[in-house]
Structure 1
Amino acid sequence: MPFSTPASGKMPEPLLPEPLLDVRDLRVSFRTEQGLVRAVDGVSFTVGHGEIVGMVGESGSGKTMSLLSVAGLINDPNAVIEGSIRFKGQELLGLSRKGWRHIRGNEIAVIFQDPMTALTPVYTIGWQIIEQIRVHNNISRRAARTRAIEMLEAVGIPHPHVQVDRYPHQLSGGMRQRAFIAMALSCNPALLIADEPTTALDVTVQAQILELIRKLRQDFGSSIVMVTHDMGVVAEVADRVMVMYAGRIVEKGTKRDIFKAAEHPYSWGLFDSIPPLDGVRPHRLKSIPGSPPSLLDLPKGCAFAPRCRYRFDKCAERPFLTGEEGHLAACFLPDAQRHNRALADAALADAAMTGIAR
């Protein structure tokens, strides 16, 4: 039977593939004696299949809390989590403990900043990986041990048949991180959350871990969300980037969007405060003036306005993400100025000179 054309005369648009992870209007608050701490305030984002997404921002920006929510790892009785977190079409908020036991470690895995605090010191690396595998798979201990050795080899640990019987303290920092990644990947999760995975490592080991993460995406097809404050790390591995400030996403887009055509003053501030990735430093590095606002008492309008050199009257209102073709920024700065930072700086200089003339 031939396909019929709709009465409108237009063929329906093809359905886009459903994202692996779809987070909408996520809000995470904590009840304290001083009041309600809004750690995450209306965050929405998606992660596609096989995609690496970087989430950047200062400490306390809400990036880690956002992803701990995704992994179901916020167990504080004073926490209030609202919104929607859909993984493979399934709503995770409100999921039972039994439901989380099936998903966490099996479908969603987390790599923490310091593997020494995440690995149990009294058990060997192999024992911990074997237990992870057997919790989610009905296989013998011998088969699980074989799988553990294969995973240690996959993440580049030399002599894995020997290292499998080592304790965490017997490995270097880089090897511990590799072992923890091996454990996280042992059940072939669809989503890997990496929380500052290279922060505690030296530069050489950092480069090795980043290369490993790229290889894991290629070999295992896992989607990866990487939380970091290091823009260089994001530049190395991410496909898309989200910039967070005071519990909100202030800009998001492709890596090229953010690194070549950032539109939010906070993103500009981040780039001004780090050495250029090519090693050439055309000007002195700048710090962002002031401090992030208290999450107990956020500004009524733009949370970044008190620190922003481009602020104007409109910033007393809260901006929401707007833009085109997937590059969105939460800023009222006129488009002509945001699209060309030099114009924005020139406008600021003109305003300053006008003030002096008066």
Structure 2
Amino acid sequence: MPDQPLLDVRDLRVSFRTRQGAVTAVDGLSFSVAPGEILGVVGESGSGKSVSMLAVLRLLTNPNVTVSGEVLFRGRDLLTLPDREMRAVRGREIAMVFQDPMTALTPVYTVGWQIAEQIRAHEPVSRREAHARAVQLLSDVGIPDAASRVNAYPHEFSGGMRQRAVIAMALSCGPSLLIADEPTTALDVTVQAQILDLMRQLNEGGSAVVLITHDMGVISQIADRVLVMYGGRAAEEGPRRAVFHGPRHPYTWGLLDSVPRVDGPRLRRLPTIAGVPVTPGSLPEGCAFAPRCRLRHERCEERPPLSVGDGDAAHRDACWLPSGGRAALRLTTTTAGEKDTDAEAAS
């Protein structure tokens, strides 16, 4: 059906068995991605962004990992697909750009061979055709002299070039869904712009993109919707403009307030979020952000659902604060944060 999401994740839970007991890394995460949509996933390190996407592709194969929930891709639950069918989905229908390009490439094979292998694994093409496409893909992602560098080994590439090679491999089969985990972290701004342009081109061709990043500037440029994660849970979700111009969750306020602005007053010190990120082994029963929130109250002992507030029905957040007057509350917490950082600097 045309109105059905391409990817529909429902109540995804990922836990790791340790000597201290089960540790929950993703706790009841639900989200969807429509065909041709770009979803930006943001949050601090340890918020469960990468683990949740690895679980979607069934790449958490350690016997100490437990994954539950539903991951519906075009109506099929990926968590229950036979291994053979799942291998056909990976790379061809859903591709992933991994965060660490060094471990994503095999050191004993050339970069071009690995890209060509990806193509031939999913398409009936000759070695020569696959090699030619590998050269073109490397050229598209900004590798200079791609015709000769296609025969180089991963250790002969810089970190940024390895990242671009991994992106070329992910784009090689024109996937319907691209999951990009920090794809521009190791790149300079010029190459970053090239990579974002490539993702836009893929998106304009009808492919959906899930972009995981810490860079709020990248999200503001390319995303259609934003999913804010904290403690393995969804803290806020909504259209990009709604989240950036009318954020509702105190954690989202902190993320946005910590970004320097070129059009506002120059601050001596950027506001910061108090405390430290919650660890998977110490998730509270109630709101995961409550221990760091200046506005926490008694009801925060109960876990808030991801619900719609006033205004846009597509804009949801998981917070017990009253729907009205949150803009004023944000201003209050920002001012308090600036005073605290000034006091810390003075001491």
Normalised by the size of structure 2, how large is the TM-score? 0.89
Deviations 1:177-205 (A, max 9, x none): 22221111111111111111122233443
Letter in 2 for 1:326: A
1:91 matches 2:109 = no
Rounded to whole Å, the distance in 2 between the matches of 1:153 and 1:294 is 41
Who is 1:244 aligned against?
Answer: 229
Identity across matched positions, percent: 58
Letter in 2 for 1:313: E
Trace 1:85-124 onto structure 2 (pairs within 5 A).
85-124=71-110
How many correspondences in the alignment?
334
CA drift of 1:158 comes to: 3.6
In the alignment, structure 1 segments of 5+ residues that lack a partner are 1-14, 350-358
Q: Closer, same or farther in 2 for the Cα pair 1:279/1:237, shift >3 Å?
A: farther
Who is 1:10 aligned against?
Answer: none
Trace 1:264-343 onto structure 2 (pairs within 5 A).
264-276=249-261, 278=263, 281-282=266-267, 284-323=269-308, 324-341=312-329
Who is 2:41 aligned against?
Answer: 55
User: Is the 2:226–2:243 Cα contact (8 Å) retained in structure 1?
Assistant: yes
CA drift of 1:150 comes to: 2.8
Deviations 1:46-65 (A, max 9, x none): 11111111111111111111
Greater alpha carbon shift after TM alignment, 330-339 vs 59-68: 330-339
Q: Closer, same or farther in 2 for the Cα pair 1:345/1:290, shift >3 Å?
A: closer
Deviations 1:135-161 (A, max 9, x none): 112222112122222322333434332
User: Is the 2:228–2:235 Cα contact (8 Å) retained in structure 1?
Assistant: yes
CA drift of 1:232 comes to: 1.8
Which of 15, 21, 24 is equivalent to 2:7? 21
CA drift of 1:293 comes to: 2.4
Normalised by the size of structure 1, how large is the TM-score? 0.87
Rounded to whole Å, the distance in 2 between the matches of 1:317 and 1:200 is 40
User: Is the 2:46–2:231 Cα contact (8 Å) retained in structure 1?
Assistant: yes
1:155 matches 2:141 = yes
Q: Closer, same or farther in 2 for the Cα pair 1:221/1:289, shift >3 Å?
A: same
Letter in 1 for 2:325: Q
SS for the counterpart of 1:209 is: helix
1:144 matches 2:125 = no
Who is 1:182 aligned against?
Answer: 168
Rounded to whole Å, the distance in 2 between the matches of 1:239 and 1:208 is 19
Rounded to whole Å, the distance in 1 between the matches of 2:175 and 2:334 is 49
CA drift of 1:300 comes to: 1.8
Who is 1:260 aligned against?
Answer: 245
In the alignment, structure 2 segments of 5+ residues that lack a partner are 338-347
Rounded to whole Å, the distance in 1 between the matches of 2:171 and 2:217 is 24
Who is 1:206 aligned against?
Answer: 192
Q: Which has the larger radius of gyration?
A: 1
SS for the counterpart of 2:80 is: coil
CA drift of 1:176 comes to: 2.4
CA drift of 1:274 comes to: 2.3
Runs of 4+ in 1 over 6 A off after TM superposition: 346-349
Greater alpha carbon shift after TM alignment, 164-173 vs 284-293: 164-173
